[in-house]
């Protein structure tokens, strides 16, 4: 671990406040992409149609569902390598079922499916809103045409009330929650009828319920993100894993002009929390296809593409576990990770992370050049280690990869906790790499 006293970068609380605003505007993966696209277009980036001929150099992006790739290849030649910062837009949550209307005991409820590794108890007794997208049928001659529309109900409309301690005297000895029977939110009084939820969403979206064909909708905590602590040293927010990395990568790309030595690129994937195997996940050909077509758009050959990949670097940015003060025994005793001591280089001998000695060194040097402290994480050997997009992206793209991230507590909770200094530290380190 680097000694934080050697760091020269100044903590940036305003940057942490901007992070809070980004998260609050982005309760679903689709909203993450929409928020990022708005910022990219304001900075002069233009969209690329995957079905159209590929453009030459410039500032471009591709958005597809909950995935986004953006890059700057102005003045680059065909063999210029890429520096790619990867992250993911999804977080564990409660997804609304296709036929959600249900109820018991004169309460109207909504059926949900658990998405990813949710800490179920963290969703109890929270004011919940709804966000995501709906697929909408056209009208008239375009009735067979399907369009996508974002939905955001950012006010409390549902709640998962916890069972009173009087009715479960052993609750504090270990709360057992059944995903099917205990996690259906309450959202009204009376008898549930088929179509209640569709009618509600249609009214919120300003469309007809009959025109809604399907949806990808989910619940989110409506409490705003905040800096907390006597000196605002913490960020308390939902979806820090991994919208924190998305925000930092986006801001770093917007701040770079594009170095002649490499092409700066960001790649946000969906479905990391459920294995990344989808058309917009890290296992998809999306990133590899865009990299290949970027080379071709600059007049490069297949050989040029392979030469560019051979000297490229992927920085897989996904949050890391900080050492929990109440459960320090769950962590590797010689690799304690603390908040506000800089980004974490994640290492695992069994390839749960893609970091190797060379890529770790490249990121470490970038931190040193930026005056940023850094830490190194190794999982406790007798506990299972999670993974992320790093190994998947490395295998799909074939580029050198390092797994890094900001430290946090309460990972996969409806509400997570990170340090308010670390986002600025990671931004500065990424700027050093992106040029």
In this structure, what CATH number is given to the domain that contains residue 177?
2.30.250.10
For residue 3, the model assigns a pLDDT of 44
Q: What is the DSSP string of 117-159?
A: S--GGGGTT--EEEEEEEEEE--GGGTT-EEEEEEEEEEEEEB
Same domain, 323 and 211: no
**Structure tokens of 359?**
């890529």
CB 378, CB 424: distance < 8 Å: no
Give the span between the Cα atoms of 142 and 144, in whole angstroms.
Answer: 5
Same domain, 248 and 375: yes
Same domain, 289 and 348: yes
Residue 231 belongs to some domain of the structure: no
pLDDT in tens, the chain (435 residues): 444 445 666 678 999 999 999 999 999 999 999 999 999 999 999 999 989 888 888 999 999 999 999 999 988 899 999 999 999 999 999 999 999 999 999 999 999 999 999 999 999 999 999 999 999 998 766 778 999 999 999 999 999 999 999 999 999 999 999 999 999 999 999 999 999 999 999 999 999 999 999 999 999 999 999 999 999 999 999 999 999 999 999 999 999 976 668 999 999 999 999 999 999 999 999 999 999 999 999 999 999 999 999 999 999 999 999 999 999 999 999 999 999 999 999 999 999 999 999 999 999 999 999 999 999 999 999 988 889 999 999 999 999 999 999 999 999 999 999 999 999 999 999 999 998
Same domain, 261 and 400: yes
Among 262, 148, 159, which residue's Cα sits nearest to residue 213?
Answer: 148
Q: What is the DSSP string of 211-246?
A: GEEEEEEEEEE-SPPEEESTT--EEEETTHHHHHHH
Number of domains in the chain: 2
Give the span between the Cα atoms of 304 and 317, in whole angstroms.
Answer: 27
Q: Using the 3D structure, point to which of 221, 248, 269 is the last residue of a domain.
A: 221
Task: Read off the CATH number of the domain in which 368 is found.
Answer: 3.40.630.10
For residue 258, the model assigns a pLDDT of 63
Give the span between the Cα atoms of 61 and 70, in whole angstroms.
Answer: 4
Same domain, 247 and 372: yes
CB 415, CB 23: distance < 8 Å: no
Among 110, 130, 123, 157, which residue's Cα sits nearest to residue 31?
Answer: 130
**Structure tokens of 429?**
């380190």
Among 8, 4, 15, 22, which residue's Cα sits nearest to residue 225?
Answer: 22
Same domain, 301 and 426: yes
Same domain, 272 and 144: no
Helices (H), 334-421: 357-370, 389-397
For residue 9, the model assigns a pLDDT of 65
CB 160, CB 124: distance < 8 Å: yes
Residue 228 belongs to some domain of the structure: no
Residue 232 belongs to some domain of the structure: no
Residue 249 belongs to some domain of the structure: yes
Residue 408 belongs to some domain of the structure: yes
Same domain, 264 and 346: yes
Residue 56 belongs to some domain of the structure: yes
Give the span between the Cα atoms of 320 and 267, in whole angstroms.
Answer: 19
Q: Is 193 left (phi over 0), alpha (psi -120 to 50) or beta?
A: beta
For residue 257, the model assigns a pLDDT of 76
Q: Using the 3D structure, point to which of 221, 254, 278 is the last residue of a domain.
A: 221
Full domain range(s) for residue 152? 93-221
For residue 144, the model assigns a pLDDT of 80
Same domain, 322 and 409: yes
Residue 133 belongs to some domain of the structure: yes
Report if pTM > 0.85: yes
Cis peptide bond N-terminal to 148, omega within 30: no
Residue 201 belongs to some domain of the structure: yes
Torsion of CA 119, 347, 322, 411, to 10 degrees: -20
Give counts: helices (H), strands (E), the chain. Answer: 9, 20
Same domain, 256 and 396: yes
Contacts for 25 with CB less than 8 Å, ≥ 6 apart: 31, 35
CA distances from residue 73 to 81, 249, 294, 310, 402 in whole angstroms, order as listed: 10, 17, 8, 17, 22
Q: Using the 3D structure, point to which of 189, 221, 253 is the last residue of a domain.
A: 221
**Structure tokens of 285?**
């050909």
Same domain, 271 and 392: yes
Same domain, 250 and 363: yes
Q: To which H or E segment does residue 39 belong?
A: helix 29-42
């Amino acid at each position: 671990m680097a000694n934080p006293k050697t760091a020269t970068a100044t903590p940036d609380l305003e940057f942490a406040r901007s992070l809070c605003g980004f998260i609050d505007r982005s309760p679903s993966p689709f909203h993450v992409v929409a928020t990022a696209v708005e910022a990219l277009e304001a900075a002069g980036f233009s969209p690329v149609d995957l079905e159209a001929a590929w453009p030459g150099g410039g500032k471009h992006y591709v958005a597809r569902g909950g995935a986004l790739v953006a890059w700057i290849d102005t003045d680059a030649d065909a063999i210029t390598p890429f520096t790619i910062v990867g992250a993911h837009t999804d977080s564990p949550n409660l997804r609304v079922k296709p036929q959600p209307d249900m109820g018991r005991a004169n309460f109207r409820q909504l059926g949900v499916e658990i998405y990813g590794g949710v800490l179920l108890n963290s969703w109890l007794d929270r004011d919940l809103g709804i966000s995501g997208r709906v697929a909408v049928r056209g009208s008239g001659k375009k009735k067979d045409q399907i369009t996508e529309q974002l939905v955001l109900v950012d006010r409390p409309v549902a709640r998962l009330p916890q069972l009173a301690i009087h009715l479960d005297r052993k609750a504090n000895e270990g709360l057992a929650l059944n995903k099917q029977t205990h996690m259906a939110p309450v959202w009204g009084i009376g008898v549930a009828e088929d179509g209640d939820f569709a009618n509600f969403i249609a009214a919120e979206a300003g469309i007809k319920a009959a025109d809604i064909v399907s949806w990808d909708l989910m619940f989110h905590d409506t409490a705003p993100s905040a800096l907390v602590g006597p000196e605002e040293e913490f960020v308390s927010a939902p979806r820090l894993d991994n919208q924190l990395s998305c925000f930092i990568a986006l801001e770093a790309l917007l701040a770079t002009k594009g170095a002649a030595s490499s092409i700066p690129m960001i790649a946000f994937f969906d479905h990391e929390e459920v294995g990344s195997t989808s058309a917009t996940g890290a296992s998809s050909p999306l990133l590899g296809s865009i990299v290949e077509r970027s080379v071709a758009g600059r007049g490069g050959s297949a050989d040029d593409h392979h030469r560019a990949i051979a000297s490229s670097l992927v920085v897989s940015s996904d949050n890391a576990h900080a050492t929990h003060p109440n459960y320090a025994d769950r962590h590797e005793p010689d690799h304690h990770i603390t908040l506000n001591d800089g980004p974490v280089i994640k290492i695992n001998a069994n390839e749960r992370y893609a970091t190797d000695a060379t890529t770790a060194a490249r990121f470490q040097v970038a931190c040193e050049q930026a005056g940023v402290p850094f830490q190194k994480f190794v999982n406790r050997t007798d506990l299972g280690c999670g993974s992320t997009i790093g190994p998947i992206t490395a295998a799909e793209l074939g580029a050198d990869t390092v797994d890094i991230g900001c430290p946090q507590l309460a990972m996969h909770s409806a509400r997570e906790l990170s340090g308010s200094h670390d986002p600025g530290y990671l931004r500065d380190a990424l700027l050093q790499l992106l040029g």
